[in-house]
């Protein structure tokens, strides 16, 4: 969808776009087994994909009215203004 509608679709980061989650839940093993590479190497597919994920925003706000998040707002956030500090 992002390729077809680049100005209308905006990607945000979810829990699977996190290096720690990817390492602990199989993506690093998948890269190691399928690609025969060391995921800890700087130029590995695993590392490059996770570097890309680091550029994705954690959320988006539409028209100052709608907040878009992958999994919701954590319990440590009490006011919408606190999200700016993240």
pTM confidence score: 0.71
Tokens of residue 59, six digits: 């959320």
Task: Report the pLDDT value the prediction gives residue 35, as an integer from 0 to 100.
Answer: 95
Q: Which residue among 10, 16, 70, 85 is the active-site one?
A: 16
- What is the reported pLDDT for 30? 93
**Catalytic site residue 85?**
no
Burial of 46 (0-12, 13-18, 19+ CB in 10 A): buried
pLDDT by 10-residue block (mean), the chain, 86 residues: 93 87 90 93 94 90 87 76 76
């Amino acid at each position: 969808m992002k390729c077809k509608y680049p100005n209308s679709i905006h990607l945000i980061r979810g829990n699977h776009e996190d290096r720690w989650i990817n390492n602990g839940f199989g993506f690093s093993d998948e890269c190691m087994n399928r690609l025969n590479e060391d995921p800890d190497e700087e130029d590995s597919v695993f590392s490059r994909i996770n570097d890309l994920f680091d550029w994705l925003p954690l959320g988006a706000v539409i028209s100052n009215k709608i907040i878009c998040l992958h999994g919701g707002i954590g319990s440590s956030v009490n006011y919408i203004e606190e999200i700016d500090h993240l």
